[in-house]
Amino acid sequence: MEKDIFQRKDDHIKISLNENVNSKNTTWLECVRFVHKSLPEINFKDIDITMKFLGKPINAPIIIGSLTGGTNLGLEINRRLAQAAEKHQIPLMVGSQRIQLEYPDTSKNFASIREIAPTIPIIANLGISQLIQMDDFDSVELIIRSIEADAIAIHLNPLQEIIQPEGDTNFTNAKKKITELNNTLKIPVIIKETGAGFSKNVSNDLINIGIKYLDVSGLGGTSFAAIEYSRAKKQTNQLKTAIGDTFLNWGIPSAASIIETKKIAQNSTVIIGSGGIRNGLEIAKCIAIGANISAIAQPFLKSAFDNPIEIESYINTLISELKSAMFLTGSKSVRDLKKAEYVILPPLSNWLEKRL
């Protein structure tokens, strides 16, 4: 078992908080411009952003995205986020639960998350590298039960793994294992990227094997390539530092990834727009171009670490900004927002012209 996993997970948190690890590339959501509606013909107070997600009612199309890896520091952050998520009735995706596989005693700590948030959708989380190595899924069932999860996210992170000094780059049989897991579990499997986005071809592959939930997590936000580059540099690992420096800007911007995925999505496909989403207007844009719901991570991490009161303030701001965008496009509901008029500008329009 990897003895330094606790330190590595805490490194991820501390580097995210204290260093500039935002991608130098943008999400390209700035290339999506809503057409202003001077006669919205709705009352702002009547705007309804409630919906159902994973079979449960939620108050806004916002997921608190995965942030931490299960250390004491990470679990305290998760508890604070769970409290805010329960109060505002929005979903929470926990960070990687790999630690539970290697240190089962940590399961009792994860259980406290569901105790704090008994009614909201909670999403478990595990890496594809761990899934590939499993002979059966008993351990997956255990981590699901520990938080009474409504779904489990399997995160794909090939970019992170090639830069991480301890990275596991064997992705052989990944699709086969995802298929087996999806056919075994009674709860939905969400496949998520970790900052490099899904192409239409990968999304199509996943949909064809029965996956109904895709979290695109595109380029433009917190960069795990940058985080692992920082770790490699501090460890004086010259090879990994060089690879990290070369591939810092690798990936598909979030807006392009959402549109590519939507292009081949089926009616039953739920698209989670994520990767560098920072405000309510960007949530509105994600939904307008094809997402069903949006996930935000890094700003919640900072709020939870600095001052838990800021979490609620941030959620309230996101909701107000989202409703403002809906008001200015004449969208009374999330369904209406999907029909809002917008224009796509370069470089996103150039990408889509070549790709779709």
- For the segment 229-252, what is each residue's pLDDT rounded down to a tens digit? 889 999 999 999 999 999 989 999
pLDDT-derived band at 3 (thresholds 50, 70, 90) equals very low
All domains of the chain in start order, with CATH: 5-355 (3.20.20.70)
Mean pLDDT of 175-201: 97
List the Cα angle 278/279/284 in 5-degree steps: 120
Tens of pLDDT, residue by residue over 150-172, are: 999 999 999 999 999 888 999 99
Query: Of the candidates 200, 206, 122, 129, which has an alpha carbon nearest to the alpha carbon of residue 164?
Result: 129
Q: What is the DSSP string of 66-78?
A: ----SSHHHHHHH
Annotated binding site for substrate: 8-9, 96-98, 160
Q: Considering the entire predicted model, what is its pTM?
A: 0.94
Q: Which residues are annotated as a binding site for Mg(2+)?
A: 161
DSSP letter at 46?
G
What is the secondary structure of 80-112 as a DSSP string? Answer: HHHHHHHHHT--EE----HHHHH-GGGHHHHHH
- Amino acid identity, residue 286? C
| Residues 124-150, mean pLDDT to the nearest whole number | 95
Binding-site residue numbers are 8-9, 66-68, 96-98, 125, 160-161, 192, 217, 222, 276-278, 297-298
Cis link prior to 347 (omega < 30° from 0)? yes
